[in-house]
């Protein structure tokens, strides 16, 4: 526990010392979401037109209009539901995630693009927190570039594993098994507890995979591994050797995630009344998003710290920052 706590504190410190990374991933999140938000805005504006319904929609919630819009919506529009308001947005997404609900193709596309961008930048981020000193933009992007294709290979494996989990294991757990376990259950509380237990079970499986893949990334960067299968095997070995510390650290980070959600549950803005409240609501929402990103970075940074703390030598062992020769030098190589 002490090692986990120390690694977690170290991870927090490393993230704090890399504010540009946090700002960068937030910007990344905004850049992916803004075009879609603008698309939705266009749909809403077109539907509202010059109707007086817009006045009440601007000043609060016009549920009648909302229902009319939803009834004719397609694409992005179908996701514009009252569950986007306040903390229910978080529950909506978490619930859809753990229940494996299908999202519209445009959301799946955006999520895929977002994940690909994370894969691209993951090398740079882990490199930065592993070095625990500024790498500046060239170093960051160079590391990102170096690891991008390795992580794409890793992502292919991750995709296969998660696809197996969500396409086969989840339906089996929550369709077949849950159905069998509760077929004659007449007490809702029992069914809920059964489902909750299955959530925990499925969550543990996903978390275990996530843990291995996290350390595979960390090992790939810190040890400059080229084989992603090798990185996964090494990550499994590392987690086996340091099971207590690795799991405890994951749990602490998970707890941090829950704390961020709990805080947002208390301050999440409602529909608002227009004017300043709109911008206040947006600001609170973005603070929450920053909090989520901070938690994600803390996961990686603390796992990196734990791994480095367990190395035979304390320092960072990855290759030096990649520097590329200028064009004439490249010519000279020939």
219-238 positions binding other proteins, by CB under 8 A:
none
Q: How far apart are CA 47 and CA 56, in angstroms?
A: 14
Cα three-residue angle 56-60-65, rounded to 5 degrees: 50
Q: How far apart are CA 121 and CA 217, in angstroms?
A: 12
Please report whether residue 17 would count as binding other proteins according to CB under 8 A.
Answer: no
Interface with other proteins (CB under 8 A), residue total 93
* 18-37 binders of other proteins (CB under 8 A): 29-30, 32-34, 36-37
The distance of closest approach from Cβ of residue 285 to other proteins in the complex, given in angstroms and rounded to an integer, is 4
User: Which strand (E) or helix (H) includes residue 164?
Assistant: helix 136-164
Please report whether residue 157 would count as binding other proteins according to CB under 8 A.
Answer: no
Give the residue, chosen from 9, 68, 164, 241, that forms a contact with other proteins under the rule CB under 8 A: 68
State the DSSP string of 257-292: HHHHHHHHHHH---S--STHHHHHHHHHHHHHHHHH
Give the residue, chosen from 122, 211, 235, 248, that forms a contact with other proteins under the rule CB under 8 A: 122
Please report whether residue 50 would count as binding other proteins according to CB under 8 A.
Answer: yes
**What are the angstrom distances between the C-alpha of 320 and each of 139, 145, 244?**
10, 14, 32
* 240-279 binders of other proteins (CB under 8 A): 270-272, 274, 278
**What are the angstrom distances between the C-alpha of 280 and each of 163, 270, 271, 273, 276?**
39, 11, 11, 11, 6
Please report whether residue 187 would count as binding other proteins according to CB under 8 A.
Answer: yes
The distance of closest approach from Cβ of residue 24 to other proteins in the complex, given in angstroms and rounded to an integer, is 14
Q: How far apart are CA 236 and CA 229, in angstroms?
A: 11
Please report whether residue 324 would count as binding other proteins according to CB under 8 A.
Answer: no
Over the window 71 to 110, marking each residue x when it contacts other proteins by CB under 8 A and - when it does not, the resulting string is x-------xx-xxxxxxxxxxxxxxxxxx---x---x--x
Please report whether residue 206 would count as binding other proteins according to CB under 8 A.
Answer: yes
- Region from 43-51, 141-149, 301-309, 318-326 binding other proteins, contact rule CB under 8 A: 43-51
């Amino acid at each position: 526990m002490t090692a986990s706590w120390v690694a977690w504190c170290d991870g927090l410190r490393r993230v704090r010392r890399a504010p540009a990374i946090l700002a960068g991933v937030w910007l990344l999140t905004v850049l992916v979401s803004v075009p879609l938000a603008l698309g939705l805005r266009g749909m809403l504006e077109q539907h509202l037109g010059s109707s007086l319904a817009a006045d009440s929609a601007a000043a609060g919630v016009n549920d009648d209009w909302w229902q009319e819009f939803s009834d004719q919506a397609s694409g992005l529009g179908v996701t514009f539901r009252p569950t986007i308001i306040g903390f229910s947005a978080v529950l909506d997404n978490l619930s859809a995630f753990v229940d494996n609900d299908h999202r519209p193709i445009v959301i799946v596309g955006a999520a895929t693009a977002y994940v690909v961008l994370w894969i691209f930048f993951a090398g740079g981020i882990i490199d930065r927190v592993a070095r625990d000193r500024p790498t500046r933009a060239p170093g960051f992007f160079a590391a990102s570039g170096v690891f991008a294709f390795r992580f794409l290979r890793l992502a292919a494996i991750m995709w296969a594993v998660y696809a197996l989990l969500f396409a086969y294991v989840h339906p089996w757990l929550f369709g077949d098994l849950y159905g069998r376990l509760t077929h004659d259950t007449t007490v809702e509380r029992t069914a809920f507890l059964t489902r909750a237990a299955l959530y925990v079970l499925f969550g543990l499986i996903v978390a275990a995979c996530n843990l291995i893949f996290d350390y595979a990334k960390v090992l790939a960067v810190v040890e400059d591994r080229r084989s992603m299968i090798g990185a996964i095997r090494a990550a499994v070995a590392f987690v086996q050797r340091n099971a207590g510390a690795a799991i405890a650290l994951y749990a602490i980070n998970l707890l941090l995630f829950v704390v961020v959600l709990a805080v947002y549950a208390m301050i999440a803005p409602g529909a608002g009344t227009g004017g300043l409240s709109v911008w206040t609501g947006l600001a609170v929402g973005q603070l929450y998003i920053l909090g989520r990103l901070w938690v994600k970075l803390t996961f990686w940074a603390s796992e990196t710290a734990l791994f480095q703390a367990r190395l035979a030598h304390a320092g960072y062992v990855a290759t030096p920052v990649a520097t590329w020769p200028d064009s004439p030098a490249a010519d000279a190589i020939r």
